[in-house]
């Protein structure tokens, strides 16, 4: 079931745990957390100055319905005095994750009351233009990026303690004494990241749109790289397996912070459910904690994330260390495969795959499982533990054959999922990654599904990543490049400085949480064009 059905059914976030199990022997979890903590990075700080003053303008031709219009140079601010009710909006010229600081002084006969200021931070123009009071989404409103600050004594240098993800900041003087005005100076942000040296830009001979897509991917990844690979610095700020995998891949060909990946893998290993299942997400503040949400496809993809890391680094000690964790995932998830080799939805687990609620997840989940058994088998080889995975080849064969029987429709060149025989992009992609579809079948299926107006399409860059990657696996290089240009390029053309959590070109108000005000516009899982362009020979 998808997230909505899962919550409606009142299913507990933690599906019933199995008997306790200690992966890697007693004390392993504590040792793994200690390793993870020893790799906690010190963040790099960069001072960023605002580029200009701006004002939002409603624009029905803009994808997100708002744009910013110039309203003067940022330096004009120093010459302005602001009274009760006055406000201004600064544009930092690009996205950042960090803290805002400014100096404030007073002018007037007497400073007989504090100055009360309201700050609103925006990743996109609409965040500033639409009053946050209208928020009616399903996530806590405490995520909304606003802050009221009282400054008692002037002049003063003020640094906002809370970290924000933003390009724009609106400052309103809510109140102060009537015979007094405030003056702002030295507004600046300290941007934070654990990304190291930025890789060189793509060659000037690369088409401009692709170069911009690459740049935006790098900025997205940079701003999500904090003390863990966060899913989005605006909201959640958490380490999720699905996001981590895609960030880590991109990181291997860009910032190359291998230790940050290792830290994240060990955090998951050290914070499992009682039975050894890795959580879908973990927190690292105030201390490493298990997220206590479990997503079946994410637990499976832990195997792929570990294998990617070992391939990128040849860190065989980590392969040996983490193999028991991977093995345990496959053991737990294998219980949901019946004797015929078919995945059976237990109905009390969250299956993610994508945020599209209409998606039938049975065939994609089968594909994820087959793919992850293959990844786990390869990891077992590298860890010198192939004997412990002795039954995997047979499982993979059985599950592949069962998938072909259950899902393949040769007359339509398509793989269809569930009782309604649903055609979706997700199903074709995962049938390809798992090898259930041959190269020829896969490319025919991807072409067929693209020509079906009613086929269920992805709504997130996360699933589009797996579609582009599936195209490459079937030798469809030109189509892969085209999709990157139209999908990620579509966000660039809509003004994205960093790539978004959800993007459905035909629905600008799509939000998994029923309000775009809480959508994240710098989202980890959308950074992979840089990986495709730099690491997959797409250019
Ligand atoms: C979103 C998170 C994260 C993702 C989960 C499934 O809420 O932001 O990106 O991994 O959903």
> Atom 9 of ligand 1 has which residue's CA nearest to it?
231
512 Cα nearest atom in ligand 1: 7
Q: What is the CB-side half-sphere exposure of residue 313 using CA atoms within 13 A?
A: 22
> Counting beta carbons within 10 angstroms of the beta carbon of residue 60, is it exposed (0 to 12), middle (13 to 18) or buried (19 or more)?
exposed
Find out whether 246 and 525 touch, Cβ atoms under 8 Å: yes
Residue ranges, the chain, pLDDT below 50:
12
> Atom 8 of ligand 1 has which residue's CA nearest to it?
231
513 Cα nearest atom in ligand 1: 7
State the distance from the centre of ligand 1 to the C-alpha of 281, rounded, in angstroms: 9
The pLDDT of residue 399: 98
Using CA atoms, how far residue 399 sits from 340, 352, 368, 528, in Å, is: 8, 20, 11, 29
Query: Best mutation site among 6, 233, 234, 240 for ligand 1, i.e. most ligand atoms within 8 A of its Cβ?
Result: 240
State the distance from the centre of ligand 1 to the C-alpha of 111, rounded, in angstroms: 47
State the distance from the centre of ligand 1 to the C-alpha of 231, rounded, in angstroms: 7
The pLDDT of residue 16: 56
The pLDDT of residue 107: 82
Pocket of ligand 1 (CB under 6 A): 231-232, 236, 240, 242-243, 352, 525
242 Cα nearest atom in ligand 1: 10
The pLDDT of residue 19: 62
The pLDDT of residue 110: 59
Sign of CA pseudo-dihedral 509, 515, 518, 519: negative
> Atom 3 of ligand 1 has which residue's CA nearest to it?
231
pTM confidence score: 0.96
473 token code pair: 């696996």
The pLDDT of residue 14: 52
The pLDDT of residue 109: 62
> Atom 5 of ligand 1 has which residue's CA nearest to it?
240
Find out whether 296 and 329 touch, Cβ atoms under 8 Å: no
Find out whether 3 and 352 touch, Cβ atoms under 8 Å: yes
State the distance from the centre of ligand 1 to the C-alpha of 318, rounded, in angstroms: 26
> Atom 6 of ligand 1 has which residue's CA nearest to it?
352
Phi, psi at residue 213, to the nearest 5°? Answer: -60, -40
């Amino acid at each position: 079931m998808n997230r909505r059905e899962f919550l409606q059914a009142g299913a507990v976030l933690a599906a019933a745990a199995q008997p306790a199990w200690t992966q890697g022997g007693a004390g392993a979890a504590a040792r793994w957390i200690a390793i993870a903590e020893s790799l906690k990075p010190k963040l790099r700080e960069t001072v960023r100055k605002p580029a200009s003053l701006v004002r939002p303008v409603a624009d029905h031709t803009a994808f997100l319905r708002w744009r910013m219009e110039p309203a003067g140079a940022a330096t004009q601010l120093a010459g302005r005095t602001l009274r009760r009710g006055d406000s201004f909006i600064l544009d930092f010229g690009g996205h950042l994750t960090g803290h805002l600081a400014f100096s404030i002084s007073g002018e007037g006969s007497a400073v007989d009351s504090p100055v009360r200021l309201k700050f609103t931070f925006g990743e996109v123009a609409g965040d500033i233009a639409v009053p946050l009071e209208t928020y009616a989404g399903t996530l806590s409103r405490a995520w909304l990026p606003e802050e009221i600050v009282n400054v008692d004594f002037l002049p003063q240098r003020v640094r906002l303690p809370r970290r924000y993800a933003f390009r724009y900041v609106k400052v309103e003087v809510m109140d102060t004494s009537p015979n007094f005005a405030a003056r702002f100076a030295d507004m600046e942000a300290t941007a934070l990241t654990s990304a190291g040296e930025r890789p060189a830009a793509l060659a000037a001979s690369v088409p401009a749109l692709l170069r911009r897509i690459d740049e935006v991917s790098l900025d997205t990844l940079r701003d999500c790289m904090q003390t863990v690979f966060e899913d989005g610095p605006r909201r959640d700020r958490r380490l999720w397996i699905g996001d981590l995998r895609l960030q880590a891949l991109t990181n291997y060909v860009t910032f190359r912070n291998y230790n940050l990946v290792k830290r994240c893998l060990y955090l998951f290993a050290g914070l499992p459910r009682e039975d050894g299942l890795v959580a879908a997400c973990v927190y690292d503040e105030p201390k490493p904690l298990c997220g206590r949400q479990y997503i079946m496809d994410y637990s499976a993809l832990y195997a792929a994330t570990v294998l990617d890391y070992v391939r990128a680094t040849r860190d065989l000690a980590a392969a040996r260390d983490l193999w028991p964790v991977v093995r345990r995932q496959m053991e737990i998830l294998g219980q949901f495969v019946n004797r015929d080799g078919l995945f059976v939805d237990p109905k009390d687990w969250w299956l993610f795959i994508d945020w599209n609620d209409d998606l039938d997840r049975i065939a994609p989940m089968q594909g994820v499982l087959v793919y992850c058994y293959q990844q786990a088998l390869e990891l077992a080889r590298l860890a010198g533990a192939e004997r412990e995975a002795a039954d995997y080849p047979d499982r993979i064969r059985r599950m592949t054959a069962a998938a072909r029987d259950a899902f393949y429709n040769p007359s339509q060149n398509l793989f269809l999922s569930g009782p309604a025989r649903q055609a979706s992009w997700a199903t074709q992609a995962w049938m390809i990654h798992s090898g259930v579809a041959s190269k020829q079948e896969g490319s025919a299926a991807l072409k067929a599904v693209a020509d079906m107006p009613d086929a269920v399409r992805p709504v997130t860059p996360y699933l589009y990543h797996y579609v582009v990657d599936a195209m490459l696996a079937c030798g469809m290089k030109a189509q892969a490049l085209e999709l990157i240009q139209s999908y990620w390029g579509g966000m660039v053309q809509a003004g994205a400085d960093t790539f978004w959590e959800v993007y459905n070109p035909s629905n600008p108000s799509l939000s998994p949480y029923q309000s775009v005000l809480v959508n994240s516009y710098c989202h980890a899982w959308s950074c992979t064009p840089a990986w495709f362009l730099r690491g997959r020979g797409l250019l």
